[in-house]
Amino acid sequence: MWSWDITKLKGPNKGQFFNLYVILDIFSRAVVGWLLAEHENAALAARLIAETCKRHGIRSGTLTIHADRGALMTATSTALLLASLGVGKSHSRPHQSNDNPFSESQFKTMKYHPTFPERFGSIQDARAEAVRHTRQAVLDQALQRHPQRFVCKPPQTPDPPNAVWINPPAQRIAA
């Protein structure tokens, strides 16, 4: 059983947002698929679901996906895709915007974490942070499974660099 939803990430300017689509495995709470886009779009949602099912080898009739009753979650294209994949669908109760507790809980945990940025400077910044969190989750799982491999300290995903240069500007030497 998976759950999926979309949350907004604050962009560089007031009123500018990026849309983070996330598919969670309800039992393990693992992120099995995600996508970051500038707009909500049913075609993007369908592509994410189809690619995630393919990547995880989902066979027809073995999966149900839960979602709230947002426009993309109830779109005809999404329903047709799920039917073609043999994936069951489950929706929240009508008029209950917070009736997707799995995804909502994950989004709140992510957004209230002390290291979560207030705003993202660009969509590329937001993607880098999401990749970093995914990598950290994998490292945390490795630590739980094989603590003997990490004798000095728990593994940490490095922070992304502040600047990347092909040809760095010349350093001025003070006279």
Q: What is the DSSP string of 83-139?
A: HHHT-EEEEPPTT-TT--HHHHHHHHHHHTSTTS-SS-SSHHHHHHHHHHHHHHHHH
Domain ranges (residues) in the chain: 2-101+117-144
Between the alpha carbon of residue 64 and those of residues 85, 101, 168, the distances in Å are 11, 16, 51
The whole-number pLDDT of residue 173 equals 58
The whole-number pLDDT of residue 162 equals 63
The whole-number pLDDT of residue 64 equals 92
According to the CATH classification, is domain 2-101+117-144 in 3.30.420.10? yes
Find, among 85, 81, 28, the residue nearest to 61 by Cα.
85
CB-CB contact of 3 with 102 (8 Å): yes
The pTM score is 0.69
What pLDDT, in 10s, does the model give residues 31-43?
A: 999 999 999 988 8
The whole-number pLDDT of residue 164 equals 55
The whole-number pLDDT of residue 75 equals 82
- pLDDT averaged over the chain? 84
Mean pLDDT for each 10-residue chunk of the chain (175 residues)? 92 90 91 91 90 92 89 83 89 72 88 84 76 82 88 80 64 57
**Orientation of helix 42-55 relative to helix 76-85, angle to 10°:** 20
